[in-house]
Amino acid sequence: MADKQGNVKRKESTKKKESSKPQEKAKAKESSKPQEKAKAKESSKPQENAKPEENTKPLENAKPEENSKGPEDPENPEDKVELMELPPFEVITGDRISSFYFKFQFRNVEYSSGRNKTFLCYSVDIQGGGDVETLRGYLEDEHIIAPHAEEAFFTLLLPECNPELRYHVTWYVSSSPCVACAAKIAEVLRSRKGMRLTIMVARLFMWEEPEIQEGLRQLRAAGCKLKIMKPADFIYTWDTYVEPEGQTFTPWVDTQENYEYYEEKLSEILQ
């Protein structure tokens, strides 16, 4: 970045010296020509199929002078400024969740306004030859560019399984899978005969939608056990996967009531 900033400063100083030349004045007059106005109109049109985030986000570390510059001169080395590509949203992995995120994201309310992430706490018991290896941790996603946490679990944490071993996987998830994730999970379970998966969900995601209901039924048909988290499951998740940060956890007042509500809806969907 230091080199890029240096190039920009040298370029700005060059412009100041050349601003008094006649040809620069001529260029200023040319900028008022009709074709330049046409270009300005064209530049204001949004690109087709552009993501909203890309339209609204300014370039990071970009200076006002750099955003307002005209066409670059390929023969001038000072004009060859390399644009910095912004990194995509990434799936975050770790050992323990922030207590704030747990209390907000895992609350089993009916209307989950503002909860646009999926938090997935996992436990994997790998059995073979009398030995058991246990893996624990969590994933979270942004629901924008990165794959959802359910898909990321198989691509990042457990990309393949040894057919000679047994895998007992348990998830504690802030909400049930979407249509695409349900299809992906069912596909993995059908291809990995030695894997058993139990998904404990705090809430049902858009359970009224027919395609969501069909996805949950496909999961059960593939051998996945779907369950709603009880108050005791929230306490276990807090003790096992959350960084307390000096806080304690007591299930919310309506936790049992909301559990019974979601349990009834899930039973209706899977019957």
* 30 is an active site residue: no
The CA distances from residue 177 to 81, 119, 173, in Å, are 43, 11, 9
Residue 140 to residue 120: CA distance in whole angstroms: 6
Taking CA atoms, 268 is separated from 56, 173, 262, 264, in Å, by 42, 20, 10, 6
Catalytic choice (65, 78, 150, 243): 150
Query: Contact at 8 Å (CB) between 141 and 91?
Result: yes
Distance (Å, whole) CA 104 – CA 249: 12
User: Which residue, among 79, 84, 64, has the nearest Cα to 15 in the 3D structure?
Assistant: 79
Q: Just list the catalytic residues.
A: 150
